[in-house]
């Protein structure tokens, strides 16, 4: 390889969705994560995605956040190297939550779950949603990536 060529990105994405009742489009979820990582300049990454039930999500919220309820998605940055643009992280999403919310918003549970994975990945690459401005930026980024993946966000 010549010095002018950049090394190939080493991005590994693993999905564990074995212990839940809903069908999961794993290639689509991997594509979403890969799209965000590439767009944000991450050169190497290992991202683990867990798709779980509400019961398991409830347990994880109690364990890590001291919340006594299930949520849609959790994400954890395990390591990040700014200089090397490398990242290791986990995204955990509830397929039960996605199925419930999809019915409310009038789109498929697959699209709702895709939104959760996008949201979790945006957290991994530095997005925040704790202020009104940050939440607006997060929502705009979610909508942009959904569109890139061929999904139109429902009007709320």
pLDDT of residue 19: 73
Residues of the chain short of pLDDT 50, as ranges, are: 1-3, 5-6
Q: Could you tell me which residues come within 8 angstroms of residue 135 by beta carbon, excluding any fewer than 6 positions away? A: 129
Beta-bridge partners for 111: none
What is the distance between the terminal CA atoms of the chain, rounded to a whole angstrom? 50
Assigned fold of 10-148: Collagenase (Catalytic Domain) (3.40.390)
Parse the chain into domains and list their residue ranges.
10-148
Token duo for residue 84: 């090397």
Predicted TM-score (pTM) of this structure: 0.91
Residue carrying the six token digits 């919220």? 61
Strand-by-strand arrangement of the 44-52 sheet:
10-16, 44-52, 86-94, 73-81
Q: What is the pLDDT of residue 21?
A: 79
Give the whole-angstrom CA distance, residue 132 versus residue 14: 32
């Amino acid at each position: 390889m010549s010095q002018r060529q950049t090394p190939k990105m080493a991005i590994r994405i693993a999905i564990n969705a074995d212990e839940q009742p809903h069908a999961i489009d794993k290639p689509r979820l991997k594509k979403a994560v890969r799209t965000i990582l590439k767009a944000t300049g991450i050169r190497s990454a290992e991202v683990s995605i867990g798709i779980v039930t509400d019961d398991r999500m409830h347990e994880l919220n109690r364990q890590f956040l001291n919340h006594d309820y299930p949520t849609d998605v959790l994400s954890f940055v395990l390591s990040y190297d700014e200089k090397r643009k490398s990242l290791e992280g986990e995204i955990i999403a509830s397929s039960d939550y996605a199925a419930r919310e999809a019915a409310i918003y009038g789109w498929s549970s697959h699209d709702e779950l895709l939104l959760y994975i996008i949201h979790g990945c945006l957290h991994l690459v530095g997005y925040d949603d704790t202020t009104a401005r940050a939440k607006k930026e997060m929502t705009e980024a979610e909508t942009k990536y959904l569109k890139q993946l061929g999904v139109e966000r429902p009007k709320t």
